[in-house]
Amino acid sequence: MCGIAGLILSPGAPPPDPAVISRLIDSLHHRGPDGTGHAVVGRVALLHNRLAIIDLVTGDQPFFAGAATLVANGEVYNYRELRDAMPGVTFATTCDCEPPLHYFLRDGIDFAKQLRGMYAIAIHERRQHRVTLTRDPFGIKPLYIAQVEGGLAFASEPQALLEAGLVKRVVRPAAREELLQLQFTTGADTIFEGIQRVLPGETIICADGHILDRSRISWIPEGGPENIDEDTALARLDRALEESVDLHQRSDVPFGMFLSGGVDSATLITLMARLNKEPVRAFTAGFDAPGAADERQHAAAVAKAVGACHESIEVTEAMVWDHLPEIVGCMDDPAADYAIIPTWFLARRAHQDVKVVLTGEGGDEIFAGYDRYRKAIRPWWRGGRTMWSRGSFDKVPVLRVQPVTWRDGMAAAEARALEGGGSRLAAAQATDIADWLPHDLLLKADRCLMAHSVEGRTPFLDRGVAAAAFRLPDGMKLRDGVGKWILRKWLEKNLPMARPFAPKQGFTVPVGEWIKGRGADLGPLVAHQPGVAEIAHPDRVEALFRDIRRWRHGFACWKLLFYALWHRRHIMGLRPVGGVFETLSAPG
């Protein structure tokens, strides 16, 4: 896990500015505090900040082979198998990111089809003056690109392009609508004017300061549900899950996992215990708020059953008020998901003992775990409802202009998903995999973990697991109103005390209650922040914070608070000066 950046300038432009290179490297230091490297050839610069996970001694980047140079962020888990498949090649290191460079020299842009892992890669072909950018098919690792003065720039995080002065801090209104209504933004265009995401699975070829070509690959199998019986499906699933977890544990540094009380993380810890002689390190978060859903007790029981070394941390209201500006500040590509709060605190604690954690992201998308899938496949006359059809501010009239186009990106994703030839359930899953997964869940995990220089790995988002599970019959994913049915059956067989078919308690952050308790003080501060005052009526915002009657009111207040803090940091360029109240009270 690392941070990468670079410049691809046109022939008429001056060479890369050393001051810009320095600012790019400094802005990504948290992603890779173990070392820096760069290569500047002509008008192309590749930059790298390293978090050393595999090959701690000789794995510094950039890598050079022939007339090509590579920098990468991520992990290629099948690097040993890739090496074995190229017996005539002499490798300079044992690092997992060196084989992709040799595969690129052999196969060109098709090299990514051989990779199994999470990655964002940049390769410079010096003779052709060409740079190839590639991102993993699930979008686990981020990569952004921007047209800048003199050519192109790319980086692991948008804030690096902003801090380097390459892109102006300007909000794109359509993305702001999505953020407020959905809590994340869709598609290639980010919330910053001029900055685009390299999409999951996308390869972009650049030369002389311009984008020449784009192509994409996917790990989602096409076609309708396959004909398979339950025993065969369970056996196949067991092989795929074990292989994936085994690959995701490859590391030269200590690793652990995040354990909730849910099916996904219970599955992971069961497999990790199966594969490791030493106890698994597991970390769980909970809250001190009365009535808050808290799964720490059940997580502790699961950990004890597999002999794990388990630690539970309590996230208090005071901790949130003290650190929220810092937490929101790490979400430069914004996702107003309140789960950033426990994720950030878990990463801070895990950093003391490990450099790598396995997490359960992707389980709900691959195995159909969300309640919204059941509604999406029902006919309208039985209570069916389109996913993501209601925005957070539809019945909260505080905005100056009611959002109109906020759902266009989701509608486009739905249309593309229906082209895959699968069932309605598979199309709903594919819709989430296209946007919700990479632009909320994975983005949240990446930023919150990398803020503490911890690498997050997602064994459910593996092409072997996808091949084993995605085209299972709908009834093996969703049965009798229960999602992830086949995964629950697997867990029932392998760790029955996890109670996989018990009613889900849920994991919610009591942010609405916390805001309600401080609403009279917080409302005026939020309402008069420049970012919020631009889009909402201050008097209505204050009234909303004073009188939170329903869950949707609290959630709308959370999004306005998030946006106020985010706008101060990433549009106004102001760093936090303390906790929430100190930061929002500081001069703008």
Q: Where are the domains of the chain?
A: 2-216, 230-498, 511-585
Number of other CB atoms surrounding residue 303 within 10 Å = 25
Assign 507 a pLDDT band (cuts: 50, 70, 90): low
CATH node for 2-216: 3.60.20.10
Alpha-carbon distances, residue 567 vs 55, 162, 171, 189, 328 (angstroms) = 39, 13, 9, 18, 10
Rounded-to-integer distance, Cα 423 and Cα 524, Å: 49
Rounded-to-integer distance, Cα 191 and Cα 184, Å: 10
pLDDT score at 424: 93
Instruction: Report the pLDDT averaged over residues 355-375.
Output: 96
- Which strands, in side-by-side order, build the sheet including 356-358? 309-315, 281-287, 255-258, 356-358, 455-457
- For 539-555, the pLDDT digits (tens) are 999 999 999 989 899 99
Q: Which helix (H) or strand (E) holds 165?
A: none
CATH node for 230-498: 3.40.50.620
Rounded-to-integer distance, Cα 247 and Cα 77, Å: 6
C-alpha torsion angle, residues 176, 178, 184, 185 (rounded to 10): -80
pLDDT at 504 over 80: no
Instruction: Transcribe 120-140 into DSSP letters.
Output: EEEEEETTTTEEEEEE-TT--
Instruction: Report the pLDDT averaged over residues 350-368.
Output: 97
- For 456-468, the pLDDT digits (tens) are 999 999 999 999 9
Percent with pLDDT over 90 in the chain: 91
Q: What is the mean pLDDT of the chain?
A: 95
